[in-house]
Copies of this chain bind each other. A is one copy, B any other.
């Protein structure tokens, strides 16, 4: 059970053992002032390897060949990878793609590609071969690191492909690639790898899932990654005693910078290839897990899994990806999870705001508190500016450098969330038009609609396309979902607009019933639908009450657990 027994099988390859007297000092070119070190999150791994060389850094337990790497061994593997990439012809600024579920391969890549001064391009494993082909073409990736289960996605590419069989053993092509890197290094070690001197250089290229149109490539920097990683470690209280469980795919916005938050904290990371609730609960209960990230849908799955129980020790659950319902936050706290509700996008390195709980909330009801906690909050440790501004007026030039105007902090007026500062992307790769449009008014426009409260907290209402215009009123699908989720028989719910002859649009709700309550409504879905509409009428204004409710077995989701409202709207269009 858990991690402890597996740790006995720790066998690094000979090439993974650092030479005696290894020197972890980054090498800077001449001319860098004594008081400047270009910010780069790679430094955290080098320092962790120096502080805790024998401490477990990565555990990859639930596979046929489990592997366990200490910090010194992992750092050596990362160094080997950097040399191997350079030997393969990778130059500073070149793109290196990685397509893999959570595993040492993609963890290595988040460090080793930076060590080679190249740009890591993590690709969603659940895209189609055509979508991957587009990204490979657009990014111009020269080398692709690919997990054995994803090889079909890169068929026909002209780039060099390195396959990892996820064994950690000699004979595995990825392991042989690392070994070649070690030989190529000539034991020059870290001093043979020049440090990226421009902290504003491209470091990561993540393609947004892009529900419509071609995905856009988000370029982020070493400086931003360094500062974002520190913020994530600080805000969630990670330190060298922490154990982070990889549930969130690392390919998603570079795992919200946790690959570097973990090394900043000198913590242990456990990589899970798939979201399996029995495996997750096994680690929660038996492996000393202290932290994990997940979208609300994953958290719903977790608290409702048959293995779910009250945790002996609190576990910090970082929630983002979409807005959690107050109901979910309450359920999590009852099981001794400590939800940290953050908000952000790929363009903001993942988390950008946090809903800080206020001392004064201690005296309000659990329900009201959860409702406060479901808001998106304020700029967190190292993010800079969050505003809610009036959205583009009809006919207005989307490229114009207009001065943005704040909406009042009244908790009512809906505007667009815009952000700026060090943990905002640098640009869309090879897309100056899209960059200019996104950076209108000197801020990045998130496209998320929100209200701003007198306490400065923002609260997302919807993506602009998710707002339901019902009888001339703007109804927030998220606000409706919040209320429907409070019905005890609802497991998960999504609300979209459905055309209506009289009101223009009306909300339609898609509901998954709670597995332990579903039997009650068996063959009586119509009755449930009526009951839920009635529940809604006691809590929502008329224009926001769902006109239609549909009980479903499943909801369409992205790989990161976001509900695909585009797909639901297509379903609705066919009704």
Contacts and interface: CB of A to CB of B under 8 A. Distances in A.
Interface of A: 21, 25-26, 30, 32-37, 39, 43, 47, 50-52, 54-55, 200, 221, 224, 230, 233-234, 237, 239-240, 264, 356, 358-360, 378-379, 381-382, 384-385, 387, 409, 420-422, 424-426, 439, 442-444, 456
Contacts of A52: 356, 358-359
Of the candidates A52, A224, A378, A421, the one having the most CB atoms from chain B within 10 angstroms of its own CB is A421
Given A234-B233, A234-B234, A422 B36 contact: yes
A422 B37 contact: yes
Given A25-B387, A47-B378, A50-B378, 19 more contacts: A30-B442, A33-B426, A34-B442, A34-B443, A35-B420, A35-B426, A36-B200, A36-B421, A36-B422, A37-B420, A47-B379, A51-B356, A52-B356, A52-B358, A54-B360, A230-B234, A230-B382, A234-B234, A237-B239
A421 B35 CA distance: 5
Nearest to A200: B36
Which 5 pairs from chain A and chain B are nearest by CB?
A: A37-B421, A37-B384, A35-B424, A34-B439, A35-B426
Given A34-B442, A35-B422, A25 B359 contact: no
Tell me what chain A mostly uses at the interface: helix, strand, loop, or mixed: loop
A358 B54 CA distance: 10
Contact of A444 (B34, B224, B234, B387): B34
Contacts of A382: 230
A55 B359 contact: yes
Given A35-B424, A35-B426, A51 B384 contact: no
Contacts of A25: 385, 387
Query: How many of these chains are in the complex?
Result: 2
A272 B387 CA distance: 38
A249 B234 CA distance: 27
A421 to B, nearest CB: 4
A26 B264 CA distance: 28
B35 A425 contact: yes
Contacts of A43: 384
Contacts of A30: 442
Contacts of A456: 50-51
Given A37-B384, A239-B237, A51 B422 contact: no
A424 B34 contact: yes
Contacts of A385: 25-26, 37
A378 B51 contact: yes
Given A50-B456, A384-B43, A409 B234 contact: no
Contacts of A21: 409
A194 to B, nearest CB: 15
A408 to B, nearest CB: 9
Nearest to A233: B234
A444 B200 CA distance: 25
A322 B452 CA distance: 50
Nearest to A31: B442
28 contacts: A25-B385, A25-B387, A26-B384, A30-B442, A32-B442, A33-B426, A34-B442, A35-B221, A35-B422, A35-B424, A35-B425, A35-B426, A36-B200, A36-B421, A36-B422, A37-B384, A37-B421, A47-B379, A50-B456, A51-B356, A51-B378, A51-B456, A52-B356, A52-B359, A54-B360, A230-B234, A230-B381, A230-B382
Nearest to A422: B37
Contacts of A230: 230, 234, 381-382
Given A358-B52, A359-B55, A378-B50, A35 B224 contact: yes
A216 to B, nearest CB: 15
